[in-house]
Structures are given as C-alpha cells and as structure tokens.
Structure 1
C-alpha cells in the first residue's frame, strides 16, 4: 500500500514508495492536459449568435466541449523507471531487482474547473459529471457555456503559449501513515482502616478502670494521563479526531471502573461486647482500580493526493473552432458522452454494449457503441424535438470466457453524461485485505463471506489471510447490479493456538479490511501478602479470563516465589469493561504441607494472594507467683486446637528459679475468632514429690501458675481450693 512519507520527485513526476515492497512504486502526474483521440484533441469551441434576444438580453455566446485526463507520456515514465532502477541497484541502498509501477485504486473522486468560479458576466454555466473516471487516465468531460463577452475573451485566451483553464482533482485512495501511538493510564485507590482497643479492669479492692483507644484512617485518590506520539502525522484534523477518541474512551472506561465510597465502622460496631473485659478491633479495607489504554494506529486511511494544474493551450486552436447561427438545426442537438467506470484488466469484463434510443416527435435516433476499456468514450449525438432531452438506454455486459452475459433493464433519463459504474456491471467486487492485525498475537484470520442477491443465486466463499497472504480478491459474476450488502464473519487463530470467532457483520465497501477485534489490552497485577521464602515456598496460580458475550477465553498459569513475588498478566481483549478474571491455586509451605486457594472472582485488576493465616495468638507464661524455696521447677503444658482448619499446637514451658523473663508461646491462627487455649501446670517439689494443677481454659494473653494449696471456705459458698480462688482473682485483675 502507498506510504505517503516515502515520496520523491523524479523527472518532474511525484513518486511514492510502497509500505512493504521496496521495489514497488506509484507515480502521479503533476498536471492535467486536454485528452487526445489519436493525434487530435477531444475539444470543440463553438461560438454562436441568435437573432432573437434572450430573456436576459444576450444575443449569443459560446460552448466549449472537451475532456481532461491525467497521464504520463511513455518516454517520461521510462525515464522515471530508469532512475528508480539505478537507485535500487546503488551500493547505498543495498537492494536491486526490477522496478514495479503499481496501479492506484481510487475509491472516490471529483473534478472541478476554475471557470466555475468566474463571474457570471463571463461564464454562464459549467457542467461536468462531478466525478472523473477512477480507472485508466481519470478522464473527466466538461461543457462550458460562455456569455458573449466570455466567448470573445476565451477565444483569445485559449490560443498561443500558456493556458487559461485550470483543473483540480480530488481523488481518494487508501494509503498508510507512519505509526501513531496513544497511551493512557488510570489509577484509583480507596483505603480505610479502623483500630479500636478497649480495656476494662475490675478490681475487688479499688475502683474499676476503663480505657478505650480508636485510630481511624481514610485515603482517597485517583488520576489519569494520556500521551500521544504523532510520528510524521502533522495533519491537525487527524490529530484532533484521535485526541477526542482517546479522551472519550478513557472517560467511558473510568465511569465503569470508578470505586464506590467506603462505609466507616458504624456506631453499633464500635460498642463493647457484653461481658468482655478486653476488646481489639482491627479492620482494613483497600480497593484499587487501574487500567492502561494502548492504541497503535496502523489502519490505512483515505488519502487525497489532490492533483491539479493549468491545461496547456491547444496547438492549432482554429482547427477546433466554429461559428454557427442558432437558427441552424445543428444547435438543436443532444450530446451525451458514454463511458464505463470499471477496471477491465482486473475484472472479467470483455466489453460493454450500450443501446441508446432517442424517440420524440419526428426524431428517432439509435446508437449502440461498444466499449472495451475505461478510457473508451463514445458520444451519443442526435437532433432533438424541441426542448425534450429525455432518452432511453440499456446496456449489456459481456464476460471473458463465459457465454452468459448481463443485460440491464431499460432506463429513461436526461443525464448529460452516461456512466456505467462497476457496481452496475453484474460483478461482485470485493478486495479483502489485512488491516491492523498484530501477527504476534493473531497468526491467521479465516474469513467466511456470504452474498445473498435478489434474482441472482447467492454464494459463500471462505479464505484465509495471514503473514504471507495479506490480500484476497473476489470477482464473482452475479448477473445483476449489486443491491444488497454482503455478510462476513472472521475466525481468529491466536498465536497460542486458541480461537476466537466474531459474529456476522455487514459490509458494503469494495475494500474489506480485516482488523483486530481486540481494541485494547487488559493487565492483571498479581501480588503476594508478606514475604515468601520462610514459611511459604511457592504459590501456584491458575488464572482464567472469560468474556461470555464474545465467547472469548484466555488462560494463564503463574508461580510466585521469593525471587518473583509479583507478576503482571497482559492479554488482548475485545472490551476491557467486559469479562471476569477468576483464579485458584495452592500455597506450598516450607514444611511440605499444601493449602488450597479456592476459585475466586477477582474484584479488581489487582489480585493479592498468600497464606490463609489471618492472626497470631501470643501467650506469655510468668513465674512471678512460684515459691522456688519449695519448688524446684514447673512444667506448663499448653494446647491449642482448631479442628475445622486441622490445627493442633502443643508446647511445654519449663520455669526455673533463674527465669527472670516470661516464656513466650506463639501460634499462627487461621480463624481469628478462635483464641481459646488450654494449659496445665506440673510442680516438681524439692522434696522429690510433685503436684498437678487442674487443666485451665483461657483466652487471656498471660498465664500465671501458682502452687496448689490447702482447701479454704469462702463465706456463703462451698469449699474450694485456695489456689483456685486466689488464681482466679489474679486472673481477673489481669
């Protein structure tokens, strides 16, 4: 495809390079010229007069009939090829081979002439079909009517050196720009933490003490930015359209990704539970939402080279000049140029036979010209019956290598320029080409194209596009004008072997670009809680992205370790706002045990995983109430059980006379609400005996064992061990 930044001027001709093939070039004539039929110009200047004044008071004027074309003389084109060949074979380029001259395919166009803008005192009217032929030499016929002053002026201006007629073409073809990159980032975070500690000390001997501590934190932030790399694209209109698209896409995505406000802990949730002396509440809520928008503009765009210039004057002007009187019947004529706007070389068209019939009053004229190329222009000329300029026509398209032909219905028109367009030739013309497919992600696109005609028999064709085959042409004879759009769907074969199939889509353009269905990329950040490598060896994760609306699935397996505590998973998506990410896996501990991570749906684009431990139980064993004058040592047996989570932790703590600090016991919890444990003390006496204390259940952070003693009686109650009573009092004081 033509690359607009690969341009050079050779022998006065503008030459463009191809975006892929270094040996392929496109040449554009710089100036138009009057078309020639052999050695003669397709030009006629007729000056007339009339003996009767018109309503505007004028007595005459002139008509100019001519064709304009853009073409390059063969000798000039050969000179251009020779220069290109020398450049290809030069040592600097390091290339070589034959020079190829490509044929540009124009999808739309129009032509205008400077005479249209000249004062009505000089030019009465200018007529042209508006659109030139889009094939061959891009011929456009013009008819100009001059006032009497204009007739005299241009009769002189069109003779001699120079030129007086200027023509401007707007011809649109597909071309490519250098890459344009757009990148946008959005990040939003909401954080809320609540810490509360309540301590109530009951005292039998003094006033009770109550202490409450609350720490509450809130953080809310969000931001986004967009950057553009325009490359060689300097057109402000193109930049404006892409900038508006990027901001609108970001704003729509932000609206979908915005995090709701976090609710603080309620007044009810802050109250002290009934019967509890010590309460600790620690609540943290953090939500993160982020995404990245990336856009790499590789799509082709419609480009207008806009050739224009001044037509060189015609040699021997008087050869094409005549003067007539309007009383001559010659002026009561209808002149209609007839052409075919289709590429005969590319299409299976042998010829087009046009039947034109003018039948009014005493005038009956029939012409049947045969056209065999887009450069053929036939003229239908007839006398007219008064002001009636309507005529009838039909045409027949003959195909190469086929006995079948297409004959149109009969039409009535007063069109002053009869053009048979390519869509009217009974051929379905579609050029399927690779658009913005990224072959690092998509290895192949399998296209199924279907056309259901009216009277014609429908057909379906399947073809494949990939890195080696980037274009497929459909030239199907349907024996009727194309009235309906075609339907197509695409099956994308991903580089990892997975497949994604689009729904049926409508197409109406002759050029069908197969683009990537994945407009953006989605990034999922996977992070771990805490440090790996001590208790936890590895974390294995299986991630699945599923977009049920588009029947699209992506999968990924990850391993997190001390050396790799975080991973970012990036993959193409149809729409980042659609689809969900789920994950599951296992936590492998250093001792060989394994903990399952149940399947979970990710709430944001950041996934945080780690061991299921929620809290830690810390217990201190104090020797302060042990009389080591009688006791040699004390063994305190500690037991914690969580049968639901399969936890049983045991420990024996030995207390001797030289123990100055409390012994510590730490248990990792999986259920933060289950903090009850059991302890029992065994006292080994200096006289060789031992005493065994009763098993005790506790949730307190401290254990203070005391030697069991004699039984005592409290007033108004049964007998109890003195050690039990005293220890319970000490326990409540803690």
Structure 2
C-alpha cells in the first residue's frame, strides 16, 4: 500500500513508495487531462446552434458540448518515471520495478464552468464522481446560452485554455510513525407515551387522551494524532484530517440506519376507563480506532489545473488536432437536427481477479420511431455516447443492461427502466457482492491472527458466507467477490475472531452497507506495568526470573510472558494491551537464583500497581524514572543526570548517574537500596551537552517524586 511519507517528484509527477515492497511505486499526476481515443484524439465534441433555441425557462440556448477528462499518466511520462526508478533501486531490483494502482475510496470531479454566471453557461452535467478504476474517467456535458456559445467556441481555439477541472480523490494509504486515535459515539432514542381515561361516574363523562412523543439523537466524533519531535506540521495536520475523514466515513455508514418510532395502536374505544401505552427504543453505537504506523487511512489527493485547448494537442502520429473534427454547427429549427446526446458508462473493475467479464448496455428512445443502440463495455475507462432525435420536449429514454461473468454461463439482466441525463451504471448494480477487507491497525505482535467471517443474504437464494484470515505473513488487503445475480441492496454482516498466544475471543456481529471492512485493534487500552530488580545483583543475586500473567475472563482474553533480570538487565517495561482497562487481573511471581546455588521462590501476587520490585528487599528501595519528553532534541545531543540519596543518614549516601539520548528513548530506572531510611527525598542535577559544543547544568533539585521530568533546557520550566 502507498506509504504517504515516501514521496519524491519525478518528471513533474509525485511518486510514492510502497509500505513494504521496495520495487513498487505509485505515481500521482499533478493535474487532469482530456481523455483521448486509441489514435490520440481528444474525446470532445462541440455543437453550436446556427439559430439560438428558446428554452422552457425563456432563455435562449446556443450550444452543447461533451468531453471526457481523466486523472492518469500518459505513456511518455510513465516511461521516464520507470527509467529513473530503476536507476534508484539498483540492479538487484531494477527488473521488478513497477507502478501500482492506488485503492481509491471516493472521488469527485468539478468543472470551473459550473460556477460561471448563467450568461455564459446554462448547465453542467457530470456523474457522481470519477470511475475510481483505470484512468478515473469523468464525462462532462455542457449546455451554453447564445452568448456563451460564441465565447466558448473562440476561447477553445488557439493557445491557452478555458476549461479547468478539479479532482477530489480519497485513497487508502499507510501512515508514517505516528500514534493517535479516532472515536465515534452515537445515541439515538425515541419514546411514546399515551394516557387515556374517563371518569366512569354519574352524569356526563369527562374524557382525557394525552400522547407524547420524544426523539433525540446525539453523535460525537473525536480525533487526536500525536507525532514525534521534528515531524512535519503540515503532514501531521493532513494525517489528522485523513483520520477524521476515515472515522467520519465509518460513522456515516453507521448513522445511516434510523431507529424505528412507535407504529402501534393509538385508538381509544368507547366506554373505556383507563388506557396506558408506553414505547421506547434506544440504540447506542460506539467505536474507537487506534492509529499507528501500520494504520491505513483515507488520504486526499486533489489534482487540478487548466486543460489545454484541443488545437494545441497532437495525436499519436504527431499530427495536430483539428478544430473542424470536433466542431459542428446545427440548425435546431430543422426537425431533422432536433437531437440530444448523453454519455453512457459502466463504473466497474474488469481486472483479472474480478468476476465481471463485461457489461452489455441497451439504450432506446421512443419518439416518432424507436431509436436504439447497444454497447459492450469491458474497460474501466470506456465511455460511449447515445444520440437520438427529440420528439416534442421529452428527453427521457429507456435503458437495460446484461452483466456477463467470468467462467460462468449465468448472466444478470436488469429490467428496462426510464432515465434522463448522463447514464452511469455503478458497481453495486452489477449483481456482484464485492468487499475489500483491510487489516487496519492490527498489531501482529499481540494478535497472531484475525479471522473475518462474512454473511450476506440476497433476496433470492441462500445466504452467502465467506472468510478471510490475516496474519503477520498475510497482512495486505483482501478482496471477496461473489456473484449474487441481483442488485446489492442490503447490509453485510461480519464478525472478527481474534487469536493471541493460546487464547481466542471474538467481537459481536456488525453490519456495513459499504464495500470496505476496516478492522480495528481488539485492544482499546494499555495497562502499564514495570518490574525492577533490587538487591545485591553484583555479588549475591545471579538472576531473577519473573512471570507476569493478565487474565480477563469476561472477554476470554489472557496474556502471559516471562523475563530474566540480572545485574546488566535489571528493568523490564512490559505495557499490556487490554480490551478493558477496568477489567482483568494482573499477577506476577517467579524465582530468585543466588550465586551460591540456592533458589528462592517469589510467590504469585495479584497487584494493581504499575511498578513492582522483585529480589531482596533491603530496608528501603527508591526507584527513580527519568522522563526526557520535554527535552529540545533539535539543540541537545546528550543529557547526563546525577542523583544522590542518603535516606536521611549521610553515612549511607549513594550517588548514581544515567545518560539520556533521543535515539535510546527513556532510560531504565535508577534504583537505590538503603539499609534504612527516614525519608525518601533525593536530589538530582542534569548536565545538557548541546550540538554546538557547549554545555549547561541545572541547579540541584530535591524531591520525593520518583518521576523526574527533565526541562526543555536548563533554566526553563
């Protein structure tokens, strides 16, 4: 998958590297272009009315234009990029260098003429968005008034350009080394209460019938992203917006389903005494996605620019494109020329691993006579144009399509249906259930495997079930495709079974109406835990074996690990990923092995502490943790921290030091073992060695807080 921080510019094109394959790259052009046919001629046609036509709105029409744009590389630029990349990777990988395809999630294409005054452009049509396959083709259709038609014809000739296109593409990418999370919570509630009564006494009855309905909805999205020191602020801001877009995309699908209100009986019978009806419906939805360098998120790519006038273009033979080949004047007052045309395309992927072989589209217009056309689609960038003569003012036509599948004689045939304007047949209409399952931010150091089970029940036929399995060796996106022979119009159910070291647990069933299932880590929190070895590790204690176990019976999750501590490795930091920070039991135990051959057992102990000390407890133990989080590493090379402890008795004073470097991370704790102590106060000072060769020392500080937070620089808070 595209790694967003592996970027370079080649031949005016932004080129990104892959997150794991050093020979795979992704090229993102800086601006869209006109789509050309096999001979290199732009797919462009402009019809100018010889006499202005009066529209139903009272305005006079003057012209009509259709053309296609694309967001793709041309062959010459592709060759230059591949040649430079082969030189970069060296001979060992040169033969394997290739350009991959970005997995596009959503996309839009906007024409500047859409915003132009109605005096110049009457209307612009284009489909929902680019194809998201192949060259990301988008067809456009323009209707121009009389004044705009003349201006448009003149401006499209000669040098320069008038047509500006902006693509807004969102693709799945891998992030650099950052951490963070996105959170979504939703609460929807509806209630109904009815109380009806009469007095049932002498004389005229007094009736009362009161009804109250309440509907509330609360949706919250929160995103936080943290980066290391020196990270590019613009990149971090884009990552945060990308994570927000990913969470919003998931949340939008979850919020689409509305809960049902009260639909039962509200009537009141004659001669009743009391009636009480009460109904409530509550739905709570909540999810959290953690973010790290293994996370795939949606990232915006926004190529835009002015398209060159077609008279500045040349075809594949090097011949200039002629204006006369793409321009005609027609007389709309002649019934023979009273016509309309619409672009037709199929938004489908015909790749080798996809089930759709081709799509046959039938279009017909029923006027004075039936005019029909049939098109065969087997390329993602293919666009056809249907044209017919208009009868009256109706431009409504009928269409149907037949989907042909690979390796099967079965087809899916849609019924004939009415339509107006451009025709785009989308992937969900092709009788195929296609799902892209992404491992997301699964950490395969703690999760050995994740099995995703899929269920979909079509309106006709039995339920479809399938599975995909993710492991450390198989952690790339997986695609499931099933021919269902009908339009997909219902959600997919899925659940995830996780397996850790010897344990298995699963999430509840979930539903999605989208085409992508994005897995999140099953662990929602981290339980910090540290073990410090104490005692005479130099002359008396040979080693200390520590066993740590975490158990959460409610979720079925458990974790265990062991480590041997000694004089050279006396500290173990083992944060534990957990499903619920408020649940579970943490237990530790082990063995102390002495240099004289004897062994002492450390009994199993349940603890709520974040730091425990094991070994020989000698009077008082003071473990000091030095935190360098605030140090300005852009100016500082090294920090030496000196700590002094005497426990209130100068005769037992101990002095120890530790070195702190940015690349090494937080240092292990500095441990003092005192025979006796009346106080746990200690003093410390830090000497900063700067990159310019100078140094500075902080004044001595005395404290009992065992977490020492180094300042940014000496003399600063």
Q: Which TM class, normalised by the smaller chain length? A: 0.5 to 0.7
**What secondary structure sits across from 1:576 in the alignment?**
coil
Q: Deviations over 1:330-372 (max 9, x none)?
A: 5543422211111112412221112223335x34333322212
Deviation at 1:428, TM superposition (A): 1.9
Contact in 2 for aligned 1:50/1:59 (Cα 8 Å)? no
Rounded to whole Å, the distance in 2 between the matches of 1:449 and 1:510 is: 12
Summarize the alignment of residues 221-370 of structure 1 with structure 2, pairs less than 5 Å apart.
228-229=227-228, 231-232=231-232, 234-235=234-235, 237-238=237-238, 296-314=292-310, 315-330=321-336, 332-346=338-352, 347-359=354-366, 362-370=368-376
Rounded to whole Å, the distance in 2 between the matches of 1:451 and 1:429 is: 11
Alignment match, 2:652: none
Q: Deviations over 1:231-254 (max 9, x none)?
A: 346246446669999xxxxxxxxx
Question: Is 1:132 aligned to residue 130 of structure 2?
Answer: yes
Deviation at 1:510, TM superposition (A): 2.8
Alignment match, 2:6: 6
**What secondary structure sits across from 2:176 in the alignment?**
coil
**What secondary structure sits across from 1:423 in the alignment?**
helix
Deviation at 1:543, TM superposition (A): 5.2
Deviation at 1:388, TM superposition (A): 2.6
Rounded to whole Å, the distance in 1 between the matches of 2:424 and 2:13 is: 30
Alignment match, 2:49: 48
Match of 2:152 among 137, 151, 154: 154
Rounded to whole Å, the distance in 1 between the matches of 2:339 and 2:380 is: 26
Of structures 1 and 2, the larger Rg is shown by 1
Deviation at 1:105, TM superposition (A): 2.7
Q: Deviations over 1:632-670 (max 9, x none)?
A: xxxxxxxxxxxxxxxxxxxxxxxxxxxxxxxxxxxxxxx
With over 3 angstroms needed to count, the CA separation of the structure-2 counterparts of 1:441 and 1:119, relative to structure 1, is: same
Match of 1:171 among 169, 192, 195: 169
With over 3 angstroms needed to count, the CA separation of the structure-2 counterparts of 1:295 and 1:317, relative to structure 1, is: closer
With over 3 angstroms needed to count, the CA separation of the structure-2 counterparts of 1:411 and 1:532, relative to structure 1, is: same
Contact in 2 for aligned 1:132/1:139 (Cα 8 Å)? yes
Q: Deviations over 1:592-636 (max 9, x none)?
A: 999996x87545545689999xxxxxxxxxxxxxxxxxxxxxxxx
Indicate the RMSD between aligned Cα atoms, in angstroms: 4.1
Contact in 2 for aligned 1:49/1:59 (Cα 8 Å)? no
With over 3 angstroms needed to count, the CA separation of the structure-2 counterparts of 1:450 and 1:233, relative to structure 1, is: farther
**What secondary structure sits across from 1:234 in the alignment?**
helix
With over 3 angstroms needed to count, the CA separation of the structure-2 counterparts of 1:388 and 1:23, relative to structure 1, is: same
Q: Deviations over 1:155-209 (max 9, x none)?
A: 11111222221111112211123111369xxxxxxxxxxxxxxxxxxxxxxxxxx
Summarize the alignment of residues 465-504 of structure 1 with structure 2, pairs less than 5 Å apart.
465-471=470-476, 472-494=478-500, 496-504=501-509
Match of 2:460 among 448, 455, 463: 455
Summarize the alignment of residues 277-676 of structure 1 with structure 2, pairs less than 5 Å apart.
296-314=292-310, 315-330=321-336, 332-346=338-352, 347-359=354-366, 362-414=368-420, 416-471=421-476, 472-494=478-500, 496-525=501-530, 544-556=549-561, 569-582=574-587, 602-605=607-610
Rounded to whole Å, the distance in 1 between the matches of 2:135 and 2:533 is: 68
**What secondary structure sits across from 1:152 in the alignment?**
helix
With over 3 angstroms needed to count, the CA separation of the structure-2 counterparts of 1:499 and 1:153, relative to structure 1, is: same
Alignment match, 1:77: 78
Q: Deviations over 1:287-340 (max 9, x none)?
A: xxxxxx996343122122212222221232133222233312255434222111
TM-score (norm 2): 0.63
Structure 1 regions of 5+ residues with no counterpart?
184-225, 246-292, 613-734
Q: Which range moves more in the overlay, 332-341 or 54-63?
A: 54-63
Q: Which range moves more in the overlay, 446-455 or 342-351?
A: 446-455
With over 3 angstroms needed to count, the CA separation of the structure-2 counterparts of 1:161 and 1:45, relative to structure 1, is: same
Rounded to whole Å, the distance in 2 between the matches of 1:365 and 1:47 is: 23
TM-score (norm 1): 0.62
With over 3 angstroms needed to count, the CA separation of the structure-2 counterparts of 1:569 and 1:133, relative to structure 1, is: closer
With over 3 angstroms needed to count, the CA separation of the structure-2 counterparts of 1:544 and 1:370, relative to structure 1, is: same
**What secondary structure sits across from 1:82 in the alignment?**
helix
Rounded to whole Å, the distance in 2 between the matches of 1:78 and 1:595 is: 69
Structure 2 regions of 5+ residues with no counterpart?
182-224, 246-288, 311-320, 618-717
Rounded to whole Å, the distance in 2 between the matches of 1:103 and 1:529 is: 56
Rounded to whole Å, the distance in 1 between the matches of 2:559 and 2:611 is: 17
Q: Which range moves more in the overlay, 431-440 or 393-402?
A: 431-440
